[in-house]
Amino acid sequence: MNIVNLRQILALNIKEQRKKLGISQEKLAETAGLSWQTVNSLECQRTWASDATLETLAKVFNIETFQLLMPPETRAAISSDPTVTLRELAQAKKAYDKAFASIYGDSIA
């Protein structure tokens, strides 16, 4: 996984979560305390989000921060399977932390 893939995944997840809430980019920006340009740049894959921005967006969407970096098909499989345990979610998070750290270095993990 590389930064392009992560930007693409993040963009898809932000847009999907925003549409689930039925809000515009402007409303998401207002709710999250971000500029409209930031939300637009994230959804259009022009920029990357800081840790604080990821955490803020996750709170607005009422999801865990790491879920913003999970491919949609992985999130769908987890959310649609009632037998998925917290241990499996933790393992998925650990795998994404490791992939993220391989891009940004061990200081992230």
| pLDDT at residue 35 in the model | 97
Helices (H), the chain: 3-21, 25-32, 36-43, 51-61, 72-80, 86-104
CA distance 29 to 53: 11
- Give first-to-last CA distance, the chain, whole Å: 15
| pLDDT at residue 6 in the model | 87
Tens of pLDDT, residues 44-53: 999 989 999 9
Tens of pLDDT, residues 82-102: 566 666 667 777 776 777 677
pTM of the predicted model over 0.85: no
**Does residue 103 have a pLDDT over 90?**
no
**What tokens does 103 get?**
């891009």
User: Side-chain half-sphere of 97: how many Cα atoms within 13 Å?
Assistant: 11
Q: How far is CA 61 from the centre of its chain?
A: 10
More confidently predicted of 74 and 36: 36
pLDDT more than 70, % of the chain: 72
Please state the CATH superfamily assignment of the domain spanning residues 3-104 in this structure.
lambda repressor-like DNA-binding domains (1.10.260.40)
